[in-house]
Amino acid sequence: MLAYEMRGRGTPLLLIHAFPLSRLMWKEQMGALKPRAKVIAPDLPGFGESPGLAQPSLPQMAREVAALLDELKVREPVLLCGLSMGGYVAFEFLRQFPDRVRALGLFSTRAASETPEGRHGRFKAIQKIKEEGLAAFAQRILPHLLGRTTLESQPATVGEVTRMILANRPEGVTDALQAMADRRDSTDLLSGIHCPALVVAGEEDPFIPPLEAQGMQAKITGSDLALIPRAGHLVNLEQPAAFQEALDRFLYKLQHCNIC
């Protein structure tokens, strides 16, 4: 079973972490949300305290998340939120278990499959990690995870992200790179999403530009969009107050929507 942290009571709210971090990235959000929801944050396979998979894939990661909900006896539909790789897992969960999703949060993620250039980059990163280890990989990936404002003015956040990367096992990171390289295109799912949805993007995201997030949000009928200033890819860590405000607005809307 996946390692996890759970706090609070009420509507289940599932937070799926980004690559190459762990559930620890949601520490502040779990504290802020626990008075209003049952907040569940798992470590995906191969990250944090969770064991890896014999055959790593995003569909299997989604099944592991569903198995965790079963183990926790969470039967009702959940508010499913994923950031970056967590968003890829959220799409797979939605594809396989649509009746278990009450609402959807897609943060710093994309529906499209990997480009040939992106696949090449993932495979190159796998080889580099095997040759050089995680410390060198962490230094290379930081400019892709954090916006310029964070890199220039938030050394504590840079250090926190670095420590989370280094706390993982190299094989967990390389397995995830392989899984993301092989991910399916989820663009076809967007027009069929009829539950409430929130798309969040950082205005300084060097990996997924805000225009791409806007295009994805436009294909999800009735969805909300929040662009976070002075944030890169890891929006909840770089600008936690602005991120929490966007999430609070969405939760308020859910609580006061008769059809949700």
Whole-angstrom Cα distance, residue 27 to residue 44? 16
Which residue segment(s) compose the domain that 127 sits in?
4-255
Whole-angstrom Cα distance, residue 121 to residue 128? 10
* 218 lies in some domain: yes
Which are the contacts of 116, defined by CB distance < 8 A and separation ≥ 6? Answer: none
pLDDT tens digit sequence for 121-179: 999 999 999 999 999 999 999 999 999 999 999 999 999 999 999 999 999 999 999 99
* 227 lies in some domain: yes
| Encoded tokens for 242 | 């602005």
pLDDT band at 255 (very low <50, low <70, confident <90, very high): confident
pLDDT tens digit sequence for 55-81: 999 999 999 999 999 999 999 999 999
Dihedral class, residue 84 (left if φ above 0, else alpha if ψ from -120 to 50, else beta): left
State CA 141 to chain mean position distance.
Answer: 16
Dihedral class, residue 146 (left if φ above 0, else alpha if ψ from -120 to 50, else beta): beta
Q: Is the dihedral of CA 107, 201, 85, 173 positive or negative?
A: negative
Number of domains in the chain: 1
* 193 lies in some domain: yes
Q: Is the dihedral of CA 9, 11, 15, 16 positive or negative?
A: positive
How confident is the model at residue 233, as a pLDDT? 98
* 137 lies in some domain: yes
Average pLDDT on 28-51 reads 96
* 85 lies in some domain: yes
* 30 lies in some domain: yes
* 260 lies in some domain: no
CATH number of the CATH domain containing 241: 3.40.50.1820
